[in-house]
Amino acid sequence: MRVTVDGNEAAASVAFRCSEVCCIFPITPSSPMAELADEWSSKGRTNLWGTVPAVVEMQSEGGAAGALHGALQGGALGTTFTASQGLLLMIPNMYKIAGELTSAVLHVAARSLAAQALSIFGDHSDVMAVRQTGFALLSSASVQEAHDLALVAHAATLETRVPFVHFFDGFRTSHELQTIDALDDEDVRALISDELVRAHRARALSPERPFIRGTAQNPDIYFQARETVNPFYARVPEVVQRAMDRLAERTGRAYQLVEYSGHPEAERVLVVMGSGGETARETVAFLEARGERVGVAQIRLYRPFPARELAAALPQSVRWVAVLDRTKEPGSLGEPLFLDVLAALTEAHGAGERELLPTVIGGRYGLSSKEFTPGMVAAIFEELARKQPRRRFTVGINDDVSGTSLTYDPSFDIEPAETVRAAFFGLGSDGTVGANKNTIKILGDAANLHAQGYFVYDSKKSGSQTVSHLRFGPAPIRAPYLVSAASFVGCHQFRLIEQDEVLQRAAQGATLLLNCPHPPDRVWDLLSRRVQEGILAKQIKLYAIDAGRIAREAGLAGRTNTVLQTCFFAISGVLERERAIEAIKDSIRKTYGKRGEEVVSRNIEAVDRSLAALHQVEVADRISSQLEPRELVSPDAPGFVRTVTAAMMAGHGDELPVSALPVDGTYPSGTTKYEKRNISDVVAVWDSELCIQCGNCSFVCPHSVIRSRYYDPRELERAPDGFRSAELNGAGLPDARYTLQVYVEDCTGCGLCVEACPVSAPQEPGRRAINLDDREPLLENERANIAFFERLPANDRTRVDFGTVRGTQFLEPLFEFSGACAGCGETPYLKLLSQLFGDRLTVANATGCSSIYGGSQPTTPWTVNADGHGPAWSNSLFEDNAEFGLGLRLAADRHTELARRRLSELRDVLGAELVDEILTAPQVRESELRAQRARIAELQRRLDGLDGGGEELGDLSAAPDGGALVADLRSVLDHLIRRSVWIVGGDGWAYDIGAGGLDHVLASGKNVNVLVMDTEVYSNTGGQMSKATPLGAVAKFSAAGKTVPTKDLALQAIAYADVYVARVAFGADPQQTLRAIREAEAYDGPSLIIAYSNCIAHGYDMRDGLTQQYRAVASGHWPLIRFDPAVRDAGGDPFLLDSPRPRMSLADYRRGELRFRSLEAAQPQEAERLLGLAQQVANQRWRLYEEMATRGASEFLSDPRRRS
Amino acid sequence: MDLTTRYMGLTLRNPLIASPSPLSYTLDGIRRLADGGVGAIVLFSLFEEQLRQQAAEAVRIVEEPAESFPEALSYFPSVADTDGGPRAYVDLIERAASRVDVPVIGSLNGVTPEGWIDYACAMQEAGAAAIELNIYGIAGDPAVSGREVEQRHVDVLERVKAAVTVPVAVKLSPYFSSPGEMALRLDEAGADALVLFNRFLQPDIDPEELVVLPKVNLSSPADARVAQTWIALLRGRVRASLAATSGVEVAADLARYLLAGADVVMTTSALLRHGPSYAAELIDGLSVWMRRKGFAALDEVRGLLAVPAVADPAEHERAGYVTAMRAANAGAYNPW
């Protein structure tokens, strides 16, 4: 049966049927495999033996591997799906599973490892890091292979008892949609021997036939015992080949362990593994047809390494071999596949099996999903043809540092003429990708065509762009690289047409469909000169439609997918028009049938309205436009930003040479400000007349686009026309003016500010002191206003009231314009941290949303103030963030101590009075910190004086080794300012994967501050359940509603007695949030802030984020508390309940969120039962909190910390 | 006291019916109503339009963030793709019908012809003892004629009657030029009961905040007069059962409606104010009143003060009803 699936589904479909237990943890790009398994399991789908596999989400991949190990030892057939760091976390158990000769398969969507930076994209770094564990490694190169070889792996592991890692290239294969021939249950059954399954079961731990396994061994036997397994490994290649042959018998699809294709007497050969093999094979066929004697050996079984098969596969004529590795091993002689091939050929030659010993060179390609194209394959063959080919090389990049890279022809095109290529440019939110996935299914099903789809997303969570690469053709499509020379290009957002890539991907004479909000006769003139030139040069046929209008009219505002999909079919001719329209409608009915008639009819209406609105645009034969695209970044940006960052922003990152990039992953702070993404058509606009200057809007703004300053009225003399200003509404500064400036180009239009505004216009109901309005007409003026606003002097921090929301608006945010979702509930907390403590803040950031919007290239929102001070930020891993932050604290403490010691030692030299002041200065209030900074500056001056021999201070020679003391002091001088160490992350980290570390760090007594931005779900990886997910909520892995209440992280921390703990929700009580964060920071010990963060994974319009936060608190779902050991030490009750007794039912709060509501639709009774239980949990917790809030101080353990 | 009552062919243990309210949102609430002593329960209304909009909104919420970020191509499990449609409602009927010993009546507000029919059938299938059509379209369009509005009521009723076998009641508003004629037309079209009257949720205006408030005010006894009047006028003139709704606070209000001629009396406000167990108090109060007045059965009470159907109302001073009406209205202009 033909199906159109991606590689993840292809593999999971087999894995699920061959397993009884799936232990998983979400990690990109493997998560969809686990999610599918969970979906199938929750729908009662059965495996080969008629039972429903158990799918269990663990707290980490380490946990998943442990659970898997247990399941296997219990006799179950088990599997897991993972990638990258996840696979690394499984390594200890992998040694165990393999050491015990346990049949198992791990399916891996192979991905880069975090080194100088995390990357979610595909290469073989992860699988190469487990090649030594004893697992067999089987590599699939395509979606079809991911399906077929998944089965081969499951079959072979049972027969060999050697566990398998079955892997395929992350994203390239895991996310590529392909039309494949699916294996039915009988096919699967044919390869899986029940007898072997029972043998596996018979090896399980059982008290009926007890034994012990997992012993400890001494020097006497460990070594020998390790060698016992050799025969099992020796059998693997033969068994795998047999399984492949059996598969071929049933399906006609034949695979070899090492598959050679090309000229039978080839001289130059590539050896490659994974999807690159497909590209190499097709290119070889093309070159061979041109008469070149070239070939390619694709490795499918990598461990145990099929040395004999490799030697046998290569023609004896081979004289030059290039081995391609999709990984990097700094410092090694060469990458692993290269070394293996070299050893295998050398041995074969030595043993006389091959007469010629070819020259073998090793190259790296495709790291982190870097493109690998036919042009690159051709370049490698050219290199092999050189007299002295480079021994080591890279391809696909420009390595101008070590000179390893090969040059290649990017326009080298081998694709068959009958393959239709199309590229679509859209936004994530407009539905372009979804529509294209649908198109592929339609063509795969209806037209019996072979179809391929691959989708490129950017790493922004708001306003993100997508590019869809589609191919259709009569023959299977083997082109795992992006589309070029597309005959159809869809540009689904008008502004995207200005991006170079759109026309670059178009072929000569291509058709371009442009979604444009202007009448067709105006389209041409609205294009920039460069675009017009491109269209004329390529003789492009231009069509235009106002899809936004059609969608709006059909009741699908913002979702132009159906309209543009209809247009694609209408123009492209891949299917007969009538038939295509019917197919689209059928698929609408299929997709939305279960969502109700309304949704179906709106989409059908959109289809029906589309064709009439589609127009071919008369392309003038000459350039009419004077429009030039705007400079991407302002000319006064730093050099690195103008060259490197700007190139990435423009989509030219691939062209950056090695020399352009930092060697150690260090990048400048504060680069989002150069991005000016203009992603929202509506932006916040200030009404200076109505405004009461309360600061609420800027407090809640997730993107720091609302700034306030007060200033001397004389400043206004230079103000541009239209710059808005009001009298400062505050005591103590009678004549000052106030301006609230909106950064319109960075505003995402989320509307939280409008919701937060307490003012309403007396004459105009609904109008606030801040409102959303069209961006375009404001743009020019506001640019000038912003520039002027930025020149106003920053407000003196010592004069700002840090204790009120109103006061904080005058504190400069040092976290701005992140790519987080519009209306994000996390970022306001980070912004507040940066406002309060930014100039002395160190952030350890767990992997997750916050590390992505905080640290994804090309830009970072963490920025600096006018003095150049600002948050120092780093992300270590997902699992170790608390420990990482503790390490930063320990280093700071040691260096503070060192600084103080050196300072004391140099007291007489540097001036006793100054030194004593520095050493005894309090550093809690801003004025104290300011004073300390002044002292340090003075100290710095004196140190400079010492070095320069200028100013006469004390006698340095009086201090023994004085020079070294001074150098030491200088190196840690910055630690004389009290450092604020914050450990931040989401609930996935705090409640699950990092829970052990967090618990330990909270119990350390050290002065670290932990901010848990709790969205109650894994947000970054797409809504998987965490232990913070509420009882009754629907999430991935709790599709039937979570049946376990959330753990009370606050109470756990309170149990340690010396941890400051607060639960806050800025949307419900910003003042309490502010207070808690300040108290936590001032508290000299561990602090934990659990911060409610509204999230798109909750399922409502993000504009309602504040309302939902309010309801969460008002219903008792999220009681606001503070536990302050300092209060207890002063004799008060340290447990403070900051929110009033619940005044609405949990049901009233939950009704507003899809995560709760969707269960009601699917399983009303269960929803009602879980709601009842959740209400009980809320009631009981409230009673407990109330009781705690009325205990006396003596009822709490007194401060256990040792005080000096 | 035997309070057994017939209402559109159903036998009820007493004439007090819980009308649609949040009390019937959950099985637990329905049980509490039944335990409280009511004779039947009309569930909260199923609004087709609301379901359709919710479904469209859910699609938007699920789809908009999807397929745009490489690590999260979706944010919800596929269960969120399921639009419940009337499923939760139907499921509630199903459970309620099997767990409580009083008839459970579904209440439906459709918008499309299919909606009325499909949802009504689903309710019947689930075990609804009857269906109340809550024809709650506010004829806010000044261009729509009164006749059209009336015809819509008849059409809906006919459509649903043709599709189901359980009794069908129509809950209507008092805002017809001739509510009496409307009642007769519906009676003729096959209504098994007429529920008088729907209280449109009249929004309020807040002069301070300058906003319109979609407030739901509970009814008060004063709201009962219009229904009482029309029940008295319709008693004996229609085949359909007559249900009174609005303004029940004490047992005497029940008595008033029954005297006017109601077969059953519905209340929401009293039960919301005092809790479901208040039903028993109302019923007890009714019995006490009947005993005190020497009535042995409801039949003796029902319609005692109705306007007799047989002759010119003016000639029947015994009921005193019309006289009272006239006097009241005349008095309205002469407060002294």
Query: What is this structure's pTM?
Result: 0.93
pLDDT value at position A763? Answer: 81
- Dist CA A216 CA A214 (whole Å): 7
Asked if A464 and B81 come within 8 Å (Cβ–Cβ), the reply is no
Determine the residue of chain B that is closest to A556 in CA distance: B60
Average pLDDT of every residue of chain B: 87
Q: What CA–CA distance (Å, rounded) separates A697 from A831? A: 13
Report helix, strand and coil shares of chain A as percent, to nearest 5. 45, 15, 40
B59 contacts chain A (CB < 8 A): yes
B170 by DSSP, 3-state: which? strand
Whether A528 contacts A541, CB under 8 Å? no
Torsion from C-alpha of B266, B272, B273, B278, nearest 10 degrees: 60
CB neighbourhood size of A125 (10 A): 25
Three-state helix/strand/coil letters over A323-374 = EEECCCCCCCCCCHHHHHHHHHHHHHHHCCCCCCCCEEEEEEECHHHCCCCH
Task: Give Cα separations from B318 to A558, A960, B292 (angstroms).
Answer: 68, 122, 21
Top pLDDT among B321 and B132 is at B132
Q: Which of B51, B69, B78, B114 would best serve as a mutation to test chain A binding (most A beta carbons within 10 A)?
A: B69
CA distance A454 to chain B (A): 12
Closest alpha carbon to A315 in A361, A267, A245: A267
φ and ψ at A947, to 5 degrees? -65, -45
Q: Residues 1084..1103 of A with a Cβ closer than 8 Å to B: which? A: 1096-1097, 1099-1101
| Token digits of residue A1115 | 């219903």
Eight-state DSSP code of residue B235:
T
From first CA to last CA, the distance across chain A in angstroms is: 75
Q: In angstroms, what CA-CA distances link B189 with A326, A1187, B160, B236, B326?
A: 78, 63, 11, 17, 32
CA-nearest residue to B53 within chain A is A598
Q: CB-CB: which of B25, B56, B87 is closest to A602?
A: B56
A760 CB within 8 Å of a chain B CB: yes
CB contact under 8 A, A1034 and B80: yes
Q: Active-site positions of A? A: 28, 61, 111, 1020
Establish if A596 touches chain B: CB-CB under 8 angstroms: yes
CA nearest to A1041 within chain B: B79
- In terms of Cα–Cα distance, which of A341, A277, A273 is closest to A306? A341
Cα-Cα-Cα-Cα torsion A1120, A1125, A1130, A1133, nearest 10 degrees, comes to 40
Q: Is the dihedral of CA A302, A303, A306, A307 positive or negative?
A: positive
Q: For chain A, which residues score pLDDT lower than 50?
A: none
Which pLDDT does position B312 carry in this prediction?
A: 58
B52/A contact by beta carbon, under 8 A: yes
Contact B272, B278 (CB under 8 A): no
pLDDT at residue B317 is higher than 50: no
Q: Specify the pLDDT at position A125.
A: 98
β-bridge pairing A392-395 and A405-406: parallel
Q: Kindly report the nearest CA distance between residue B19 and chain A, in angstroms.
A: 21
Scanning every residue of chain B, which has its alpha carbon at the shortest distance from the alpha carbon of A597? B52
CB of A593 within 8 Å of any CB in chain B?
Answer: no
Measured distance CA(A593)–CA(A596) in Å, rounded = 6
A1037: chain B residues, CB-CB within 8 Å: 77
Chain-chain contact of A1161 with B78 (C-beta, under 8 angstroms):
no
Contacts of B65 in chain A (CB under 8 A): 428-429, 821, 1096
Which of A177, A603, A1018, A1168 should be substituted to probe chain B, the one whose Cβ sees the most B Cβ atoms within 10 Å? A1168
d(CA A229, CA A386): 44
Closest CA to A40 of A1039, A1194, A1056: A1039
Cα separation values, B304 from A977, B235, B250, B255, Å:
91, 10, 19, 10
> Between residues 1133 and 1192 of chain A, which touch chain B (CB distance below 8 Å)?
1147, 1154-1155, 1157-1162, 1164-1165, 1167-1168, 1172
The SS3 assignment for A912 reads helix
Burial class (CB in 10 A: 0-12, 13-18, 19+), A921: middle
Which region holds residue A1083: left if phi is over 0, alpha if psi is between -120 and 50, else beta? beta
Is the CB of B82 less than 8 angstroms away from the CB of A1162? yes
Nearest CA in chain B to A848: B71
Strand ranges, E, within B60-192: 104-109, 130-134, 168-172
Start-to-end C-alpha separation, chain B: 44
In this complex, do A434 and B79 lie within 8 Å of one another by their Cβ atoms?
Answer: no
Rounded CA separation B46/B48 (Å): 6
3-state secondary structure A811-848: CCCCECCCCCCCCCCCHHHHHHHHHHHHHHEEEEECCC
Phi-psi region of A252 (alpha: psi -120 to 50; beta: other; left: phi over 0): left
SS (H, E, C) A289-314: HCCCCEEEEEECEEECCCHHHHHHHC
A1162 and B69: CB-CB below 8 Å? no
**DSSP code per residue over A721-737:** TT---EE--STT-TT-E
* Cα separation, A803 vs A924, whole angstroms: 13
- Burial class of residue B128 in the structure, from the number of CB atoms within 10 Å of its CB (0-12 exposed, 13-18 middle, 19+ buried): buried
Is the complex ipTM higher than 0.95?
Answer: no
Q: Is the peptide bond before B65 cis (omega within 30 degrees of 0)?
A: no
Closest partner residue to B211 (CB to CB) among A428, A597, A765 is: A765
Distances (CA, A) of A1102 to A681, A750, A1066, B10: 16, 7, 15, 48
Contact A725, A719 (CB under 8 A): yes
Of B56, B62, B95, the CB nearest to A598: B56
Residue B66 contacts A, CB cutoff 8 Å? yes
Residue numbers of B between 32 and 51 with CB closer than 8 Å to A:
51
- Please indicate whether, in this complex, the C-beta atoms of B68 and A38 are within 8 angstroms of each other: no
Q: Measured between CA atoms, how close is B76 to chain A, in angstroms? A: 6
Give the pLDDT of residue A372.
98
CA distance linking residue A1058 with residue A1201, whole number of Å = 7
Please name the residues in contact with A289: beta carbons below 8 A apart, sequence gap of 6 or more: none
> Could you tell me if B82 lies within 8 Å of chain A, comparing CB atoms?
yes
Name chain A contacts of B60, Cβ cutoff 8 Å. 559
What span, in angstroms and rounded, lies between the C-alpha atoms of A1108 and B61?
15
The CA distance from A586 to the nearest CA of chain B, in Å, is 18
Strand spans (E) along chain B: 5-7, 10-12, 16-18, 40-47, 104-109, 130-134, 168-172, 193-196, 204-206, 211-213, 241-245, 264-267
Residues B43 and B19: their CA atoms lie apart, in Å, by: 7
pLDDT at A51: 97
- In angstroms, the CA A437 to CA A452 distance is 9
Q: Is residue B203's pLDDT more than 80?
A: no
What residues contact B115, with CB distance under 8 A and at least 6 apart? B48, B52
State how far the Cα of A109 lies from the Cα of A81, in Å rounded to an integer: 8
Please check whether residue A1100 is in contact with residue A1141, taking contact to mean a CB–CB distance below 8 angstroms: no
Minimal Cα–Cα distance from B245 to chain A, Å? 27
CB contact under 8 A, B70 and A28: yes
pLDDT of residue A250: 97
Non-local (6+) Cβ contacts of B320 within 8 A are: B305
CB pairs under 8 A between A and B: 171
* Residue of chain A minimizing CA distance to B96: A1165
Instruction: Name residue, tokens 């390790």.
Output: A226
Tokens of A1147: 């049901």
Provide the shortest C-alpha distance from residue B47 to chain A (in Å). Answer: 14
Which residues 6+ apart lie within 8 Å of A365 measured at CB?
A276, A324, A325, A326, A372, A376, A394, A395, A396
Q: Which of B26, B53, B71 sits opposite A28 (nearest CB)?
A: B71
CB contact under 8 A, A459 and B77: no
Find residues 848-887 of chain A whose CB sits inside 8 Å of chain B: 852
Closest alpha carbon to A157 in A198, A76, A101: A101
Among A873, A812, A884, A1018, residue whose Cα is nearest residue A34? A1018
Residue B154 CA from chain centroid, whole number? 17
Closest CA to A108 of A132, A75, A70, A135: A135
Q: How far is CA A192 from CA A22, A156, A395, in A?
A: 18, 9, 41
